[in-house]
Amino acid sequence: MEDPTEPMRQQASEYPGVDEGTSCTQASFKTGGKAFLFVGEQGGRFKAMFKLADSKSQATELAKKNPKDIQVGSGPWVTARFSADSPLPQKIWQKWLDESYKITRK
């Protein structure tokens, strides 16, 4: 089975000043000591957590349509759950990953 989080991990590791580590059972990506991405596998599905500001409204709309796949917290974190057969669309995760990195660098 192909890991759909691998492209996310690769892109996250290419940003300047990124440290990769682990948090519980997930990979974590940090800049300036602050996390901007958590990815891993949980319960037979994959999971990615992004810190969002401008795209939070987009995530909220997606969560209304797919509440089992997208969860929006009261803070900046948004969790996406997906499978290898039905991954998070690249257009979405790239936008969210860029935003998460940028707002964490501030």
CATH number at residue 38: 3.90.1150.30
Residue 105, SS3 per DSSP: helix
Domain assignment present for residue 82? The answer is yes
Residue 47 covered by a domain: yes
Domain tally, the chain: 1
**Whose structure tokens read 């509440």?**
67
Alpha-carbon distance of 66 to 78, in angstroms, equals 13
* Least confident piece of the model among 36-45, 50-59, 93-102: 36-45
> Looking at the domain assignment, is residue 1 inside a domain?
no
Q: How far apart are CA 97 and CA 51, in angstroms?
A: 8
How do residues 66-92 score in pLDDT, each as one tens digit?
A: 999 999 988 999 999 999 999 999 999
Domain that holds residue 91: 6-105
Where on the phi/psi map is residue 33: left (φ > 0), alpha (ψ -120 to 50), or beta?
left
13 assigned to some structural domain: yes
